[in-house]
Every structure is written in structure tokens, then in C-alpha cells.
Amino acid sequence: MSALEATQSKSASARLVQAAALVVTFGLLLTATRLAPAEAGVVGTVAGLGFLLLAGTLTSELIEALGIPHLTGYLLAGVLAGPDVLALIDRATLAQLGPVNTLALSLIALAGGAELHIELLRSTARSLAWASLLQHSLVMMASVAAFIALAPFTPFADLRPASLWGVALLWGAVAATRSPAALLGIISQLRPKGPLTTFSIAFVMLSDLLCIVIVAFTMALVRPLFDASAIFSFNDIRQLVRELVGSVALGGAVGLALSIYLKLFGKNRLLVLLALGVGLAELLRYIQFDALLAFLVAGFFVRNFSEQGPKLLEAVQRTGVIVFVIFFAVAGAKIELALLAKVGGVVLALCAVRFATTLLAARASSKLAADEPVLRRWGWSALISQAGFTLGITMVVARAFPSIADAFTTLAIAAVAINETIGPVLFKIGLDRAGESGAGDASSERPPSSAL
Amino acid sequence: MSPILLLTGLLALAYFGTMLVERRSMRGFGLPSGTEFLLVGVLIGPRFMGLISTPALTSFGGLTAVALAWLALIIGAHYGWARGRRVPARRMLLGVGLASVAVVMTGAAAGLVAWLVTDLDWRDLLLLAMGVGAVSAETTRHAVRWVIERYAAEGPLSELIGDATEADDAVPILMLALIATMAPHEGSLALSFPGWAALLSTVGIGAAMGATCAALFDIEPRTTQRWGIVVGTGLLAVGASTRLGLSGIATTFVMGLTAASLSRQRAALEALLTTTERAVMLPALVLAGAHVGFPDRMPFLPIVIVAVAGRVAAKLLAGRLFRRSLKQEGVGSRTLGLGLLPAGVLSVTAGFACALQLQTIVGEIILAVAVTHAIVGEIVGPVFLRRALRSAGEIRSAAADTPHPVPARVIEGARRLVARGPRLRSSERPPKLRASQSSDIGDDPR
């Protein structure tokens, strides 16, 4: 039974059961946290993980009746449980869930790479080229302009002009990023098929790669604007090249190893993916390669240079339900509502500019590439979401420019909170209106014996 | 060794170990109670080879507790069922009763010796007695099934032993719940529950999460979503109960029991949980083994010896009762009693849980006793069990004399050959297989 059929076929009594289970879930953790309020270490992390998984799943199922995507349900559960609302999950627990989030992001990247087929890239090459050019350049330029214009209302009001331009350029680079996690989360739920789905997958994955390069170049470019004694240095570029080449090479090697394993053994795939996600992500962090890129390349390699792509996709999709729930529920819990209220106005304006420019750039690129009408109309809908990738890029920027780190991170987190809330809804609407929802292969449910 | 490296290693071990265990019946190796990974852990632990350092082990304390609770969830979901049918109530009572006797005999003996040779206070003495009792109660069904299936045993005695060993799992779990109510907790996390309230809360949380799990599982047809439901409810149950200072293991046992009892999809739930068993159990056993030490701050050897002796006495008593209840004249009650000695995953799990919870010399001794039971049971149990079953006429002597009976696959292959090729003389024909033997023997101990 496909995801869509399964959820649509649920009766009112089933919804009632889910609602009751949600109450029990909230009630249990509420009781535990109120009776034992101290920071709970690993125990708190385990309880938090179980809660987010369960509450996220149930909330998403319940709000789906309203046509709202699952990701929004996961986020909502996280926000409600987070430190600013019910405080069922404290900040220390959220910090301890970091490795779980890294694992989730690695698996999402692997799934992203496995979704990218060379044929798909070829078939959308023209659209991709125009979209990549216009989306990145226009969104970046418009975001920079908006940031400069709104600077008096940001924490950067007192910066000298050169530094302000530096921050604005960095903001523009971050604004150009998209969310592969949100894209794949929606695809995992709706199993869509059609030109919009194809284009969205190809564009967002390619955009990730471009954004890594754009951000690194921007950082090298703006460094002299913050420090008068600094000069434009090729060191950042060299570092970037090393990181890119290394990540691609390692990703290729992992892809090769995965292909061989899938061909020769193919058993216990979930266990292998977990070991790979945990071990390799740690190794990549240690040698300072880009984990997202490496996993993306590994998935791409298996899909395109072996016959094992479907096996990998199936295995990764099976982890999807748990991975996406945890990733977005944790993201929801991390949303700082107080902070959002403080800088919400200016961030909302910046997001509005990004939204409008994305829409405009999508229309223009579709026209130039002579895309199908459905793409012309809804091609922008997958490009609004921002989530973990954007936050990761933000952290890189914050580490490189400590003088602006706190304020910059604050704005970026607030922007991600807004975009990750509305983005999935818009993409679901786009897929529904384009008639692509549920048109893909309903992933057949195999008996549980093959799960591990 | 860094924790991440250790985790990766454990995941790899779960992978390769699962493959190895799956094939053990074909290769003719592997221990009946499946505790060889325990010995691996002992070897690579900080007290022997030192491949796993103490800080790395400590950092995994929380995760290990979760793994143990997950094993209890699986045990709970299977509890009261044997070979696809419910265990009759009388046999449940018999199993629980005999396990309780073992708890009392070993616990009392160990407590008494500890009182004589150590200066532990009364609370520690009680915890020690309860912990030793908990790890001495069960006869592992893995070993019993290993013998029964490997030697194609069939008859009332093997059925009785199989049923009783399924039933005795509840006793160590109950003991763990009691120990959790008595054990000192980390300052602000602890709640001053009275003992009865703590027990009720444990059962309440387990039952609530089990009912939730069953209700959601039944209305959800997609396997992937079912995974989320089971993992989510399981983690929440163990996390919330441990946060309240209750026994996570007891909570998840009750949860598994409730979920399996209430779910209309019990078989699917059980199957789903079973797929995780080895992947969780093998790393947990290795970690348990790595935790094992030989305390040198106090004379622990007499306690271990007395605990083993007490357990042997309790199992001899059980053998006598089994013999009487079946009126099996040909079977020696001593042989039967020694055949009930195998201790396995549950005993080690209970010992390990005590070691993690108590974090004192008492916990170390309990774990050492559990591991000793596993080793002694491994050496003595299967041999005597086989002998008892043969005496009862439930194993054909030809099969029993074969040190490594021919694996079912080989027999199946030979059968096909017979069907295709020239007929063999009756003396050359492979023995007939029962239906239960047509799959890999030992592939899944359940």
C-alpha cells in the first residue's frame, strides 16, 4: 500500500486512536519532565528521541487530513515539545541529538544522490542551466540589496559600510541555499512523478554543490571587508578545492564499496547504512571534508555506475520515515520563538524578498529554457524551503567570521524557521496542483524480516 | 578508542555477527546459549586486552541501557508463547514458581555469605541478594531450543522444558524492577516513590506504551511506519521510566507483553521485533563482557561459588519436580536438573543492568555471577539436557550420538538427490525430517 493510499484510507476511528496516542505521548513526557525536571543526560536524549519520533509521526498523520504535508507535522511536534513552549525537550537534549541529526543528514544526502540519474540530468540540462544561473544570481543579488536596505533594523546597524556589504554578501550566499531534506521528505511522503519532481530533484541537488562553491568564494571575497589588513587570499580557494575534490573522491570510493556490497551480499542494509552514516560522517568531520557532498556522490555513483541503484534507494527510503521525522522534529524543537519574535519583522521581509525573487527567477528561467507549462507555473515551489544544509552553511560562515557570528546566526536561524515552515507546504501544493502526487512507484512494503 | 569508533565497530559486529550466527548451524560451531560474544567482550575489554577503554565503555552506559531495555521488549513480546501457541497456565505457573525458588535459594545463599565475608550494609546486602537471585533464575530457552531442535527431540519432556523456560523470564525482570526501586539514584533525578508506587508506575508506563503501540500498530498497514511506531514507543517508554528512576528493562518488558497481548497483528509485531534481536543482542553482549571484572577489593569468589552451588541446587529441585509431574521413570532427576543449568542472554542482561544501575562493587559481583552462570551452564547444561532427553526416549540415539548432526540443508539436498537419482538402500537414506526442521536449524533460536 502506498503512503497516500494508506493515509487516505484511514477511518475516523483510526484518527481518534492516533489523537489519543498523541495525548498519551505528550502526557507521559510531560509527567516525566515535571516530576524529574533536572537535565537528564542520555536518558533525556533517549526519551526525547522516542517522543519526537512518535509525536512527529502522529502529528503529521493527524494534520494530513487538512492537506498539510508531513514535514510540517514533524516541525509542529518539535515546536510544541521544544524549550519555548512545553519544554519537554531541553536545549542540552537537543545538543545531544546532534549526532543523530548528522546521521539523518548523511542518509538524506545519500538518498538525494541516489535520486539523481544521469538521464534525468541530461533531460533537464537546459532548464537546469538557466535555473541555476538565474536562481543563484538573482536571489543572491536581491537578498544583498534587501539586506542593505533593511540593515538599520538588524543588529548590524552600527557596522561600517564595508563590513555591512560583507555581511550582506554572506547573507546573499546563504539565501541562495535550498533544502534537500525538505525536498526528499515531501517526495518520500507523496511519491510524486513528473517533470516538476524531476526538475526539483535535479536542481536542488545541483544547487547544493553550487552553493558550497559560492559560499566559499564569497567568504574569500569578503574577508578584506572585515579586516582592513587582510588581502584577498587564495588560501580559502585552495581549501575549497581540496575539500571538494577530497569529498568527491571519497564519496566515489564509498559508492564503489556500496555497489560491491549490494551486489555480493545485500543483507542487513539498514545496519550497513547506519554504520556508514555514523563512521563515515565522523571520519569526514575529522579530515574536514564535506559530508553532504561525499554522501551525495556516493549515492550518485551507486545509482549511475552500478546496477544496484534500486536496492540502495529502497534501503534508504525504508529509513526515510524515521530519518525525516527526527530531522524535522529536532529542527522544530530548535526554533527559538522568542528570537523569532525579536527579529521576526525584518527576517520576514528578507524572506519575502527571497520568495519573490525565487518566483521571478523561476518564471524567467522557465521561459528562457522553454519549459513545460507545469514547470513554468510550479517550478519555484520546491525552492523556498531551507533547513539543515542552510544551517550548516551558516555555521561555516559563523566560524569564519566570529565578530558577526551571533547576530548573523540569529538572523539565519529565524529565516530558516520561516522558510522550513512554509516551504514544504508550498511544494506539496505545487505537486498536488501539477497532478504529480502519488504518481510515482508506491514503494512496496516488504515483510519486516528484510528490514535489518 | 573513541566512542564513535566503538559505535561503528559495534554496528559492524552486529552485522558480521548476525551473518555468522545465521550460518552457525551449517558450519557446526557456536555455543548453544549464544553467549560466545560475551567471551569476545571479556577478552577485548579493559581488564584483558584493553581494546575497549574504560572511558569509552562508560560513555556507552546510557546506550547500553537502552539496548538492554530493547532486548527486554523483545522478550516481553514473546513471553508466554512457545512454538506458535500459548504456553498453558499451569506450565507458566510452574516456570515462574521454579524460577522464584532459584531466586530465593541463590539470593539467600549469596546474601548470607556476603554478610559473613564482607562489610556491606544491609541495603547493599539486600541488593546483592536480589541481583544474584535475578541472574540465577532463568534457564535460557536458546540453549534448550538449540538442543531440542538440533537433536530433533520430540515428546512431553522437551515440550515441558520448552514451556517452562519460556515462562521463567518474568522473574528476573520483576527482580530488576524491585532493584530499581531500591537502588540509589542520581540526586535530582530521583523521586521518592514508595516501593509499591514505583512498581505500579513501572507497570503503568509499560502497559500504557504497550497499548499505544498495539493500537497504532494495528491501524498502520505500512511496515516503514510501523518501525517508527515501535521504535518511538520503545524509546519513549525506556527514557521516561528511567528518568523517573524506574527500571527501563521492566517497563519495556511490560510494554512488549501488553503490545503483543492487545495487538491483532501480534505475529507481525513479533516478527518485526525479532529482526532487531541479534543486531541489538550481539553488541550488548560484547559490551557486557567488556564490563566484566574480577573485583579484588573484597572476597567475591565465595559469593560466586555459593551462587553457582545455590543455582545448581535449585535446578536439581526443578529437575525432580519435572520428573514427578511427567512421571518419566527412565529420566534421572539429577541429569534433568543439570540439563536446566544453561543461562544466557537474559541472565547476562540482568547482571549487566545491575552493574550499570548500581555502579558499585555490588553491581560488579552480580555481573560476574551472571557471566559465571553463563559459562558453567554452557559447559554442563546442553550435555545433560541431551542425556535427559535421550533417556526419556525423545531423541533417537543415532541422532544423539552424532557430534554435529547433519545440517538440514544437506539433508534436504540429499533428499532431492534421492528423489532424482537411483534409490539408496534404506541404511543409506538420511533420517526423516520433521516440518520444523526444514528451515535452518538454529537460524532463529525462537
> Is there a domain that residue A451 lies in?
no
Domain count, chain A: 2
| Torsion sign (Cα): A84, A90, A95, A96 | negative
Do A301 and A430 lie in a common domain? yes
Instruction: Give the number of C-alpha atoms closer than 13 A to the C-alpha of residue A193, restricted to the C-beta side.
Output: 7
In this prediction, residue A146 carries a pLDDT of: 96
Do A212 and A127 lie in a common domain? yes
Q: Does the structure's ipTM exceed the value 0.95?
A: no
Do A55 and A192 lie in a common domain? no
Q: Has residue A328 got a pLDDT over 80?
A: yes
Q: Has residue A100 got a pLDDT over 60?
A: yes
b (16+ CB within 10 A) / e for A267-299: ebbbbbbbbbbbbbbbbbeeeebbbbbbbbbbb
C-alpha cell of residue A336? 527559538
Do A7 and A48 lie in a common domain? yes
Residues with Cβ within 8 Å of B142's Cβ and at least 6 positions away in sequence, in order, are B32, B33, B34, B342, B344, B345, B445
Closest Cα in chain B to A43: B239
> Is there a domain that residue A161 lies in?
yes
Q: Has residue B441 got a pLDDT over 50?
A: no
In this prediction, residue A39 carries a pLDDT of: 59
Residue B86 DSSP SS3: strand
Dihedral over alpha carbons A381, A383, A388, A394 (to 10 degrees): -140
In this prediction, residue B2 carries a pLDDT of: 56
Whether residue B49 contacts residue B1, with contact meaning beta carbons closer than 8 Å, is answered with: no
Residue B62 DSSP SS3: helix
CATH number where A330 lies: 1.20.1530.20
Task: Say which of B18, B220, B223 has its CB closest to residue A268.
Answer: B18
> Is there a domain that residue A450 lies in?
no
**CA B400 remoteness from chain centre:** 25
Do A108 and A176 lie in a common domain? yes
Rounded to whole angstroms, what are the CA distances from A208 to A128, A290, A393, B135, B434? Answer: 13, 11, 10, 54, 59
> Is there a domain that residue A416 lies in?
yes
In this prediction, residue B186 carries a pLDDT of: 58
Q: Residue A314: enclosing H or E segment and its boundaries?
A: helix A309-334
As a whole number of angstroms, the distance between CA B36 and CA B371 comes to: 11
Q: Residue A148 is part of which domain span?
A: 101-442
Whether residue A436 contacts residue A403, with contact meaning beta carbons closer than 8 Å, is answered with: no
Task: Say which of A6, A268, A320 has its CB closest to residue B15.
Answer: A268
b (16+ CB within 10 A) / e for B26-44: eeeeebbbbbbbbbbbbeb
Last residue of a domain, one of A67, A83, A98: A98
In this prediction, residue B103 carries a pLDDT of: 94
Distance from the A361 Cα atom to the nearest Cα atom in chain B, whole angstroms:
38
Distance from the A34 Cα atom to the nearest Cα atom in chain B, whole angstroms:
10
> Is there a domain that residue A452 lies in?
no
As a whole number of angstroms, the distance between CA A101 and CA A291 comes to: 13
Last residue of a domain, one of A98, A120, A150: A98
Distance from the B166 Cα atom to the nearest Cα atom in chain A, whole angstroms:
23
In this prediction, residue A11 carries a pLDDT of: 80
Q: What is the mean pLDDT of residues A241-254?
A: 88
DSSP letters of B398-410?
Answer: HHHH-SSPPPHHH
Q: What is the mean pLDDT of residues A200-211?
A: 88
Q: Which pLDDT band holds residue B411 (cuts at 50, 70, 90)?
A: low
Q: What is the mean pLDDT of residues A229-246?
A: 75
Residue A331's nearest CA partner among A82, A108, A110, A120 is A82
> Is there a domain that residue A447 lies in?
no
Do A91 and A122 lie in a common domain? no
Q: Has residue A235 got a pLDDT over 80?
A: no
Q: Average pLDDT over chain B, rounded to whole? A: 79
In this prediction, residue B23 carries a pLDDT of: 53
Q: Has residue B158 got a pLDDT over 60?
A: yes
Taking an 8 Å cut-off on Cβ atoms, the answer to whether B228 and A28 are in contact is no
A123-132, A207-216, B145-154, B277-286 — which one is most confidently predicted on average? A123-132
The percent of residues in chain B predicted with pLDDT above 90, rounded, is 24
Do A91 and A105 lie in a common domain? no
C-alpha cell of residue B296? 579484588
> How many beta-carbon pairs below 8 A join chains A and B?
176
Do A93 and A105 lie in a common domain? no
Do A16 and A139 lie in a common domain? no
Contacts of A10 in chain B (CB under 8 A): 219
Last residue of a domain, one of A54, A78, A98: A98
Do A261 and A398 lie in a common domain? yes
Contacts of B242 in chain A (CB under 8 A): 43, 46-47
Q: What is the mean pLDDT of residues B197-223?
A: 90
Give the other-Cβ count within 10 Å of A238's Cβ: 11
As a whole number of angstroms, the distance between CA B343 and CA B376 comes to: 8
Mutate to test the interface with B, among A2, A4, A8, A43 (most CBs of B within 10 A): A43
Distance from the A283 Cα atom to the nearest Cα atom in chain B, whole angstroms:
9
| Portion 334-393 of A in contact with B at CB < 8 A | none
Residues with Cβ within 8 Å of B33's Cβ and at least 6 positions away in sequence, in order, are B140, B142, B143, B146, B342, B343, B344, B345, B374, B377, B378, B381
Residue A326 DSSP SS3: helix
Do A223 and A334 lie in a common domain? yes
Taking an 8 Å cut-off on Cβ atoms, the answer to whether B15 and A54 are in contact is no
Do A44 and A160 lie in a common domain? no
> Is there a domain that residue A205 lies in?
yes
Residue B187's nearest CA partner among A40, A154, A374 is A40
pTM of the model: 0.78
In this prediction, residue A190 carries a pLDDT of: 85
Closest Cα in chain B to A322: B228
